[in-house]
Every structure is written in C-alpha cells, then in structure tokens.
Amino acid sequence: MTYEIRMGQKVKDIVTGFEGIVVARVEFINGCVQYAVRPKVDDKGNMVESEYIDVDRLKLVNSGVQGMMKTYETTIGGESPPTSTTFD
C-alpha cells in the first residue's frame, strides 16, 4: 500500500488502534520514516503526548485538520528577512 501522508491528516495505527492527527515527520538515515500522531485530549481535557509510528503501520482515516492550518515560509541558513509584530 503506497500513499502519501500529509501534515494534519487523521490516521490510525493498524497494530494498536492509536488514532490522531499527523503533526510531524521524521526520516532516519536508514530510510525508516515515522510520523508523530497526536490524539485528542483525554477524558479530563489534558493533552496526550504524540507517538511516533512507522509509516507502514498507518492507515488514513480522513483529511483531519488539513486545510485549516496556516502555512509558514521558512528560511534555512543565511539571513532571514526582518519581521515586525504589531500589538494592539
């Protein structure tokens, strides 16, 4: 099964049933790719930690929060353009 997982999609671990939103991607030097999956808050409203899960164990559930997120441009290395922030 080959499909591209994207940030913000809702996925499920086919081994454990762990389900949540993809919030990060890690690629190791040996080629292993894992995604950080953040579940909903617990019954008391507390945040639950993300779990890193191998890509082969993940199944796409739905688009999750994809499209609701703001994208940012980043600069790697060198000088970054000046930014300004205004507080009302």
Quick one: pLDDT at residue 64? Answer: 78
C-beta of residue 23 within 8 angstroms of C-beta of residue 79 = no
**Phi, psi (deg, nearest 5) at residue 57:** -95, -5
> Residues in the chain with pLDDT < 70?
1-3, 67-88
**pLDDT score at 87:** 47
Q: What is the pLDDT of residues 66-78, one digit of tens each?
A: 766 666 566 666 5
pLDDT of 63 reads 79
